[in-house]
Structure formats: structure tokens, C-alpha cells
Amino acid sequence: KQRLHQPAFRARVINAYQNRCSICMLNHGKLLEAAHIIPDSDERSTTKVNNGISLCKIHHAAYDSQFLGSSPDYTVHIRTDLWAEVDGPMLKHGFQEMNKRELFLPMKDDRKPDKQALDERFEKYKKALAS
């Protein structure tokens, strides 16, 4: 179910990231989405660009499913159990090689992901790893 603010939020976030996935640099707008750092379902969530990250559809799904996370220093972390898997080129190039990569960020500081929000989200990612 799409919320009314979603198209405008998506446009602002993807524009801030120069129409690229922040993780893999994919440059095809139809395959990009604006991922919320603080989820839209959380009452503290905002539609400001700094609460979003431009991600391709697969990295967005992986982010929401805790297959990957981003630490407050803008480093990508791939779930450790995925490192040992052998499952073809998407896993190898799309995930394993993205581990420890820095996010591609907007040029303007006020559009970069909010570090406090990233920290909160990263803590949830780490808890998911531990369980």
C-alpha cells in the first residue's frame, strides 16, 4: 500500500543520489527505490531526504530484511552467513563484494543519511544477526 507522500519522497531521495543505488551504483531509475532509514511505520519517521537512501530494488529488499546494513560511518555490512554461500553471480557480485564498501552519498551534507538514524537502524541489524 503506497502512502501519499511516497512518490515525492522517492523523487527527492533518488535525485539527491544522482539516480544511483547508494550501494552498487546502478543507474536505472525504474529499478531504484527510496529506502527509509527510520521506517515509515514508525511515528518518528520523516520524509526528509536524510531519512532515505537510494537503493536498487534488490538492495532495498535486502536492507529491509536485514541481509545488509549500513553503519553510521556509511559503511555497508553484509550478513556474515552470506559470505560463505556459493550461489552464482548475484550473490557474489551483488552482496559479498559489497561488504565494507562505502555508501555513495549525496553531495550536500543536509541530504546525507542522518547518522543517529543510521546508528539506530544498524543496532537493529546487529540484533537480527545475533538471533
- Tell me the pLDDT band of 3, cut-offs 50, 70 and 90: low
H-only helix segments in 57-96: 57-64, 89-94
φ/ψ region of 32 (left if φ > 0, alpha if ψ in -120 to 50, else beta) reads beta
pTM score, whole prediction = 0.91
**How much of the chain, in percent, has pLDDT values that exceed 90?**
73
Residues 6+ apart with CB under 8 A from 16: 49, 52, 54, 106, 108, 111
Q: Over 70: is that where the pLDDT of 36 sits? A: yes
User: Which residues lie across from 36 on neighbouring strands?
Assistant: 52
The pLDDT of 6-18, averaged and rounded, is: 94
d(Cα 103, Cα 53) in Å, to the nearest integer? 9
Q: How far apart are CA 110 and CA 67, in angstroms?
A: 27
Long-range (24+ apart) CB contacts under 8 A made by 89-98 are 90/58, 94/24, 94/58, 94/59, 95/62, 95/67, 95/68, 98/23, 98/24, 98/59, 98/68
pLDDT digits (tens, 9 = 90+) for 65-104: 999 999 999 999 999 887 777 787 888 888 899 999 999 9
